[in-house]
Amino acid sequence: MEEPRNSDSDVNQKCFSNSEAQDEIQEQVLPDPGAGPQGQMEIRLYKRRWLIVFLFSSYSLCNSYQWIQYGIINNIFMKFYSVESFTIDWMSMIYMLTYIPLIFPVTWLLDKKGLRVVALAATALNCAGTWIKVASARPDLFPVTFLGQVMCSVGQVFILGMPSRIASVWFGSNEVSTACSIGVFGNQLGIAIGFLVPPILVPNVEDMDELASHIQVMFYITAGVATVLFILVIIGCSGSGLRCHDSDYLLITHSLTAEHMQAQVR
């Protein structure tokens, strides 16, 4: 995903290293002979682009669900962990707090390293945070569950900057709005599920052992989903298509910029 320094032939050799990558290509990146000095090109589109955006939407959903996971059953977690209401409110506010200082370095990382690194970091943080929460289903382990929520909130920073980049790298100009909408939809749907599911999974019972069991079940379900999504992202990022496509995007961008400058000189 690093900025390429090689020639067009080197990039093509990487992207067409196996027959599966060739089958996924719908349109080849070829200069238009009649395009003139502006050097207009057709953008290579991969069949898997819809899987990529729906996968992103899924792990965005998993992460945003956890934003309101504690706050929607505030009274139950207050009783279970023996903390004040304001403390439980911080489980949601931490998502906003981590976003402010981290969005700038994460944006820089996205520009420098590309989607692959950012997607892996986002899903890894989200997955790790959910499993930390699984270990925190005891009344004396509130700091542990808070640590898990902090890790998920950091993962959110990586996720929120990705929809527009996925749309611009993987989709044609007439599909960008649709791709962005699908990506953002996952985030909003996750919040809606966060309002609905926790009250169903964790009833307000008096027995603390039973309550701990319900909370742990909720945490296990979330961790299981996050783990499956993390594995799918690893599989998706290991394919030659994902690695090459971002390089192609950068190569086309630099090519068009260079040709535009040459046209201005003329």
CATH label of the domain that carries residue 219: 1.20.1250.20
In-domain check, residue 257 = no
Task: Evaluate whether 29 touches 44 at the Cβ level (below 8 Å).
Answer: yes
Q: Which pLDDT belongs to residue 208?
A: 93
Domain encompassing residue 167: 46-239
In-domain check, residue 206 = yes
Task: Evaluate whether 132 touches 151 at the Cβ level (below 8 Å).
Answer: yes
Per-residue pLDDT tens, the chain, 266 aa: give them: 444 444 444 444 443 333 343 444 444 444 444 444 455 556 567 778 888 899 999 999 999 999 999 999 999 999 999 999 999 999 999 999 999 999 999 999 998 988 899 999 999 999 999 999 999 999 999 999 999 999 999 999 999 989 888 888 888 888 888 989 998 999 999 999 999 999 999 999 999 999 999 999 999 999 999 999 999 999 887 754 444 445 444 444 444 444 444 444 44
In-domain check, residue 10 = no
In-domain check, residue 11 = no
Q: Which pLDDT belongs to residue 231?
A: 95
CA atoms of 27 and 247, how far apart (whole Å): 16
Q: Which pLDDT belongs to residue 109?
A: 93
In-domain check, residue 67 = yes
Domain count within the chain: 1
